[in-house]
Amino acid sequence: MNEHEVGKKITKLLDLGLDDIKQSTLNQLQSARRASLENYHTAESVSNVGQGASARNGNEWQVKTGKLLSIIALLFTLAGILYWQTLQQGDENEEIDILVLVDDLPINAYLDDGFDAWLDQH
């Protein structure tokens, strides 16, 4: 049995019991229903106004904070990559210098004029 069927059965039972209810009881039920609906609409409008303002302001703050943190993280990442590349370039130059200085080149290479020009370029 689903909710719809249960609702129909309850409605039938309530409709059958209407013939036995006194008029004063019906009047009290109607006034209670009106008061309940008025309180419900008042509470609903107050909660919607409060939630809308706080949710909108809080959401904007969270979005702005999230964007700011993302930008800061991106800048730190870029700075780290730049620093790492600078260190790598320095290491490569040091390795080339060490290999040139340690390498056993023949004497003719040191006497070659092109070798001096090559060293000046690097």
Answer whether residue 52 shows pLDDT above 90.
no
103 alpha carbon, distance to own chain's centre: 56
Distance CA 101, CA 94 (A): 11
Residue with tokens 């969270």, as numbered in its chain: 62
Distance CA 80, CA 86 (A): 10
Model pLDDT for residues 67-92, shown as the tens digit of each residue: 999 999 999 999 999 998 888 776 67
Task: Look up the pTM and report it.
Answer: 0.33
